[in-house]
């Protein structure tokens, strides 16, 4: 269920200079060539740092899985790489209840000591303190998982979408 050590999109994330005549997508930049937009040449950064969340909470990630699975099968074949489709098949099988789906998410994404070892060996993990309350005071949003999940389908309706 991984590609090149990633659970997410195997192409990574795209970025472009603001002066480039490119159209930025989530994973790639495209440029107008001939009569249509085509993927632009890639230049892999060796110094960029990226903070990325594949869903802010387990429930957000699960909603993303369900959203993908609502697409017609022919669309899914185009937009999902094989490792991502395998994750979604597995999540569908495990996710008959909220508890089962959250446990499956934990199995995939929990940063256990074993999973931390390799990125730590390459100095790739950073602990970045994040406390908007210290800057915003009472105007700071509630960033707990429960607050993020409160607007999700699952918590409003108490059931998984079929």
Highest mean predicted confidence (pLDDT) among 29-38, 49-58, 97-106 = 29-38
Position 160 pLDDT exceeds 60: no
DSSP state at residue 83: H
Provide the token pair at 14: 């795209």
Closest-CA residue to 98 (of 40, 149, 22): 149
- Looking at residue 20, what is its pLDDT? 77
Say how far apart CA 109 and CA 58 lie, in whole Å: 9
CB–CB of 1/87 below 8 Å?
A: yes
CB–CB of 148/140 below 8 Å?
A: no
Among 25-29, 74-78, 110-114, where is mean pLDDT lowest? 25-29
Provide the token pair at 158: 């108490």
pLDDT per residue over 119-144, tens digit each?
888 887 777 777 888 888 888 887 77
Round the average pLDDT of the chain to a whole number and report it.
75
């Amino acid at each position: 269920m991984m590609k090149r050590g990633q659970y997410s999109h195997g192409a990574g994330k795209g970025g472009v200079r603001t002066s480039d005549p490119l159209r930025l997508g989530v994973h790639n930049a495209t440029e107008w060539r001939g009569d249509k937009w085509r993927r632009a040449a890639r230049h892999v950064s060796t110094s960029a740092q990226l903070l990325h969340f594949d869903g802010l909470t387990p429930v957000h990630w699960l909603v993303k899985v369900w959203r993908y699975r609502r697409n017609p099968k022919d669309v899914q074949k185009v937009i999902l790489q094989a490792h991502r489709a395998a994750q979604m098949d597995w999540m569908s099988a495990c996710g008959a209840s909220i508890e089962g789906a959250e446990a499956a998410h934990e199995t995939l994404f929990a940063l256990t000591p074993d999973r931390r070892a390799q990125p730590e060996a390459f100095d790739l993990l950073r602990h970045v303190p994040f406390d908007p309350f210290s800057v915003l005071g009472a105007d700071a949003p509630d960033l707990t998982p429960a607050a993020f999940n409160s607007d999700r389908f699952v918590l409003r309706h108490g059931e998984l979408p079929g």
